[in-house]
């Protein structure tokens, strides 16, 4: 099945830096977009969505918003049969469930670390071998002389 990318293309050097580590990839909007498309193709986009929700949550200043955002994250990703339930161990899920009534900015840290490690060890290496990533890199390495040498 052909892969269609629907995000802007960044320069080749930048695209190549995404392979250095997952932090570099996640810090770059085009890299994040490509990774999300890849995860969606593997039916595991909930992992990066949870990670991003936690990053946003940690920047929350207002106490009321902390509570409402925590409940939203919990209902979307943590609770049993959540629409985007992430794969975390029982003890981590149980700890979050017990603390959700009075959430702190650190209440999802352990789950976020687990999901980050899962993506870094599993999804990220597969992304680097994926058609999505290869096409991005290859499309940016096409030499200009190809326009006048159609047989290349």
Taking 70 as the pLDDT cut, the residues of the chain under it are 1-12, 140-152
Quote the mean pLDDT of the chain. Answer: 86
Question: Which positions ≥6 away from 30 have C-beta within 8 Å?
Answer: 7, 8, 9, 10, 14, 15
pLDDT digits 0-9 by tens, 6-34: 444 445 677 888 888 899 999 999 899 99
CATH number of 23-136: 1.10.167.10
Q: What is the DSSP letter of 77?
A: I
- Residues 126 and 149: their CA atoms lie apart, in Å, by 34
Identify the pLDDT of residue 11: 55
What's residue 19's pLDDT? 87
Residue 52: its pLDDT value, please? 97
């Amino acid at each position: 099945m052909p892969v269609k990318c629907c995000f802007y293309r960044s320069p080749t050097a930048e695209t190549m830096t995404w392979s250095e580590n997952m932090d570099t990839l996640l810090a770059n909007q085009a890299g994040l977009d490509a990774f999300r498309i890849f995860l969606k193709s593997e039916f595991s986009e909930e992992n990066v969505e949870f990670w991003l929700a936690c990053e946003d949550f940690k920047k929350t200043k207002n106490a009321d918003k902390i509570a409402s955002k925590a409940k939203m994250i919990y209902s979307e990703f943590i609770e049993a049969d959540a629409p985007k339930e992430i794969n975390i161990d029982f003890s981590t899920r149980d700890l979050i469930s017990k603390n959700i009534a009075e959430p702190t900015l650190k209440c999802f840290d352990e789950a976020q670390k687990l999901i980050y490690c899962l993506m870094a060890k599993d999804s990220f290496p597969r992304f680097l071998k994926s058609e999505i990533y290869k096409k991005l890199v290859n499309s940016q390495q096409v030499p200009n002389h190809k326009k006048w040498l159609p047989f290349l």
